Chains A and B, each alone.
Chain A
């Protein structure tokens, strides 16, 4: 058993943890980070191998070793989810993600107030725990800006200081300056989307990506190889924190990364202070890091799990859980998808970055009048690939043939041979509302490879608001597919109820210590030297992908620790 002492210990170096490591080590603090997975080098991603990285999920958690279970309601028995779409290495999910990098809308930070002001209090479903965030878009803007420039995000401004700019997203929140890099090139699916969306009256644009469209900070530009979402980037053009922030942390001399380390407990003393963390090494060794500040930055599920596993006599319901809110308000996107296939042209959708290549934003957030819609909030609408990426395995698994065409046999073969390179996918990711009974807790039956209880999700997206949202978006996607001139337009099957992309919640932030787990600095209300970061803190979720917001919030936390907490430890709020 080894014990080390440090100023800061960080659990997980993904989208958020790596930023905190770089920022705090740069500010002169001694930082030790613990990572469950390995630290890859770029050469590990030279193999553009769809079987290994997409199909066998080599950069994502092994579902047998690290299960997450799901049940639709509290009366059902949970079973392990078959695919886990988060990272399992230094750099976390930013290694394999599609790198779509949105700023949330202004009203995403005040979804309850916005809804009540515009539609009345009754418009918020009575069973939803929808809440405003404890910070505004304006407060977060400088941190979004820093994240975009530090990472290298490619895009086109749609709103510069309140002036709408042609070619960008006119619904975006005002930004102080342009993106650091111009948008990625549109491929055929993007061009088709652009032309059709314009024709039916929308304002399409190239989605912002943390993929560099030109050489940037010593890294080479994207080459559009298409082995993108699900893969580590072979030339480092994807702005994962593995290539952006971890090298920065290394250069300080104050940073130490311990890989293959499974943190199983946050330690705390009788005064209510966190003293560090305990972890098992790859050799089974039991080790402890003692630290002045503990930062939890694993994926959503493990923030809740670690707090529940760290209960003590002083914290009998789990660490940092005097509010009883830990594990509550779990959310995820519902991916409603429509396929469009062409007889008179090729699309070659396996080329280029895969995720949400082109978008329009008319039906996201509160960008349209919901008065007669029967639901609140919305979704980004984009063009994408049938799987995480557009290669033949992902397409064979994700392109479900239209009604009347089988999934195997000669008719399937002919369908797939004809349309593999002639199809695209229209995608909406609808915003779930938070509900108190959508939870993460500890599975009483299923254990992980270390013998710890698996995180268990209780969740079913089939709530009236969400069902109407999804049906509405499917109609819009069908309309768009027809406007593209596709010979065949049909709907993909929806998930049976299990969580879709971008899980969030479990340790929500708020302004009331009795109704939230952390304050706007992601600092625990109960344990002031414990910071819990990542999308687990999101009180509501937006119809946008969450990663850039996770990263902006990590900068908020780093700034608060380096410039305020360090001088005067204690509650920041």
Chain B
């Protein structure tokens, strides 16, 4: 399988998973396992894990970095899904190949500057740093204090990564992130609800009416 085919295949895995998410986790799992034979892992990543859903734009090394940054911005913990579990990498990868193609150079330059900084400071790539060192690095980006950055500026790179991580956490699953509504479940957002009743509007309690609904399940039901 050529590199291009690899990319296309990974893209399709992501797209299928994203598209099916609205129908629920069971359908997603069935679709992926039925249609995708296990592929050779690349860069040590399991191609069917959420973190590995990449290949539309990012190469394996850059994907690893983006996944690591996103996970530090929204880290997972038991019962609290983070960026990896939500598939933020898949969201960002698809977005950079689609709606955000104009940000491809921004990412290329930003990721290269980040690697330069990490090698100079820690003699290691960002993805392989300890979490505390990763946090220290992200804090430096946020403060705009990373000399290896010219364009994009370190702060702009941080802000964009934060924004895209939030989009991947909380956008509808059709865009490839928010896997199984991980982000919506984290914060208690019920997704697409066409109607809230007077009692629901006036309730002081958490809103729990199920199901949480995504765009494609709604599209089928309308």
Query: B-contacting residues of A (Cβ < 8 Å)?
Result: 46-51, 55-56, 64, 185-188, 191, 223-227, 234-235, 345-346, 348, 350-352, 391-393, 396-397, 407-410, 412-414, 416-417, 420-421
Indicate if the CB atoms of A50 and B200 lie closer than 8 Å: no
Residue from the list B73, B99, B222 in contact with A408, Cβ < 8 A: B73
Q: Whose C-beta in chain A lies nearest to the C-beta of B187?
A: A420
B195 to chain A, nearest CB (A): 4
Task: Answer whether residue B145 sits at the interface, using C-beta atoms and an 8 A cutoff.
Answer: no
Q: Tell whether, in the assembled complex, residue B219 and residue A46 are in contact, meaning their CB atoms are under 8 Å apart.
A: yes
Other-chain contact of A396, B166, B194, B215 (Cβ < 8 Å): B166
Known: A48-B218, A51-B175. 9 other contacts (CB 8 A): A234-B194, A348-B207, A351-B201, A352-B201, A392-B184, A407-B162, A413-B75, A417-B186, A420-B187
B183 touches which of A392, A397, A409, A421 (Cβ 8 Å): A392
Residues of B within 8 A of A191 (CB): 202
Instruction: Say yes or no: B189 contacts A421, CB within 8 Å.
Output: yes
Interface set of B (CB-CB < 8 Å, partner A): 72-75, 77, 80, 82, 99, 102, 135, 138, 142, 162-163, 165-167, 169-172, 175, 183-184, 186-189, 192-196, 198, 200-207, 215, 218-219, 222
Inter-chain CA distance A390–B85, complex, in Å, is 24
Could you say which of A186, A352, A392 contacts B196, with CB atoms under 8 Å apart? A352
State which of B165, B183, B188, B196 has its C-beta within 8 Å of the C-beta of A226.
Answer: B196
Main secondary structure of the interface of A (DSSP, over half): loop
For the complex formed, measure the closest distance between the CB of B182 and the CB atoms of chain A, giving whole angstroms.
12
Contact across chains for A50 and B187 when beta carbons are under 8 A apart? no
Q: Is the CB of A49 within 8 A of B215?
A: yes
Residue of A nearest to B178 (CB): A392
**Docked complex Cα distance between A51 and B164 (Å):** 11
Q: 30 interchain pairs (CB within 8 A)? A: A46-B219, A48-B194, A48-B215, A50-B172, A51-B167, A51-B175, A185-B198, A188-B202, A224-B196, A224-B201, A225-B192, A225-B194, A234-B194, A235-B194, A346-B204, A346-B205, A346-B206, A348-B207, A392-B187, A392-B189, A393-B166, A407-B142, A408-B73, A408-B142, A409-B75, A410-B77, A413-B80, A413-B186, A417-B186, A420-B187
Alpha-carbon distance A47/B175, docked complex (angstroms):
13
List of 8 A-B pairs having minimum Cβ-Cβ separation, nearest first? A420-B187, A51-B171, A392-B170, A396-B166, A187-B201, A408-B73, A224-B196, A223-B195
Contact B189 A350 (CB under 8 A): yes
- Chain B at the A interface: SS class: helix
Contact B215 A408, beta carbon cutoff 8 Å: no
Q: Which of A186, A413, A421 contacts B74 (CB 8 A)?
A: A413
Check if A351 sits within 8 Å of B77, measured CB to CB. Answer: no
Residue numbers in B under 8 Å from A410 (CB-CB) = 75, 77
Cβ–Cβ contact B167 & A393, under 8 A: yes
Tell me which of B166, B200, B201 has the highest count of chain A C-beta atoms within 10 A of its own C-beta.
B201
- In the bound complex, residues from chain B placing their C-beta under 8 Å from that of A412 are 74
Which one, B77, B187, B222, contacts A46 given CB within 8 A? B222
Q: Which residue, of B74, B184, B195, has the highest number of chain A Cβ atoms within 10 A? A: B74
> What chain B residues lie within 8 Å of A397 (beta carbons)?
163, 166
Given the interface pairs A188-B202, A225-B196, the reply to whether A409 lies near B72 with Cβ below 8 Å is yes
CA distance A135 to B80 in the complex (A): 59
The distance in angstroms between the C-alpha atoms of A363 and B142, with both chains bound, is 38
**How far, in Å, is A73 (CB) from chain B's closest CB?**
23
Contact of A49 (CB < 8 Å), options: B80, B165, B172, B195: B172
Instruction: Tell me, in angstroms, the Cα distance from A420 to B186 when the chains sit together.
Output: 10
Residue pair B204, A420 in contact (C-beta under 8 Å): no
B135 touches A409 (CB 8 A): yes
Q: Which residues in A have their C-beta under 8 angstroms from that of B77?
A: 410, 413
Closest to A234 in B: B194
